[in-house]
Amino acid sequence: MQIIPAIDLRKGKCVRLIMGDVRDETVYSKEPVAMAKLWQVKGARMIHVVDLDGAFSGRPKNMELIIKMIKALRAKVEVGGGIRTEKTIKKYIRAGARRVILSTSVIGSDKFLKKMVGKYGDKIVIGVDAKNGKVAAKGWKDITKIDALDFIKQLEAAGAKMIVYTDINRDGVLKGPNFKGVVNVLKNTKMKVIISGGITRMKNIERCIDLSKKYDNVEGVIIGKALYTGNIDLKEAVKLVKE
């Protein structure tokens, strides 16, 4: 299981939102590359980078900055936000991104998903963003009527190998993950699952480690706001997982 720090980009800055709402934005750094290097120094082997402007607009807005980040790091980078065409996928992979996260582009489009998974294999990861059990799209602005578990089963049937599962109601609020929802996902898929949303304290990480012993499809845990507020020390979290 990997500990994966999150860097969310908006207007070139490293920010955190509450439940994806831009009205609840906190800027944590005007130097995202330096922030990524800090997480690397503290032990991160993978960094989760999201182009929030891209997610909201439907096309990449911080690509140049993200590519600069990829090239500046030894740690691997998984990138999401506004990735809705093969052209964008190619650009990120050619720049050195380890994983590219698709979401809106594959909701209701098995054809595109199958084609991308067929071409790029395990470099393609699907973001399953759920609010009250329903799949969200377009930077979480649109809540669909699609049941998250049904969507996960469709993804697996289409050949996807890994998902990032985020409970939107827990994202950025420091109240702990919805572990009931996480367990429900782990039980209902063989795909690898990266847990995201609400990791607040070391006890949450301990619980994820316990889950990884019970379910062999726990791939990692994304930590965002808790790292920036100091609720969790990344070095300690990485050490805990290694032990």
CA dist., res. 107 & res. 137, Å (int): 8
Task: Look at residue 93 and tell me whether its pLDDT is greater than 70.
Answer: yes
Give tens-digit pLDDT for 153-193.
Answer: 999 999 999 999 999 888 776 778 899 999 999 999 999 99
Is 129 part of the annotated catalytic residue set?
yes
Q: Could you please state the CATH topology (level 3) that the domain comprising 2-242 is classified under.
A: TIM Barrel (3.20.20)
CA dist., res. 163 & res. 135, Å (int): 13
CA dist., res. 211 & res. 217, Å (int): 9
Q: Are 201 and 167 in contact (CB under 8 A)?
A: no
Is 216 part of the annotated catalytic residue set?
no
pLDDT at position 173: 67
List phi, psi (to 5°) of 31: -125, 75
- Window from 140-144, 216-220, 234-238 with minimum mean pLDDT: 140-144
Per-residue DSSP letters for 83-114? --SHHHHHHHHHHT-SEEEE-GGGTT-HHHHH
CA dist., res. 185 & res. 212, Å (int): 13
Active-site residue (options: 53, 129, 167, 171): 129
Domain boundaries, the chain: 2-242
Give tens-digit pLDDT for 18-61.
Answer: 777 777 788 999 999 999 999 999 999 999 999 999 999 999 99
pLDDT at position 31: 96
Active-site residue (options: 8, 53, 167, 171): 8
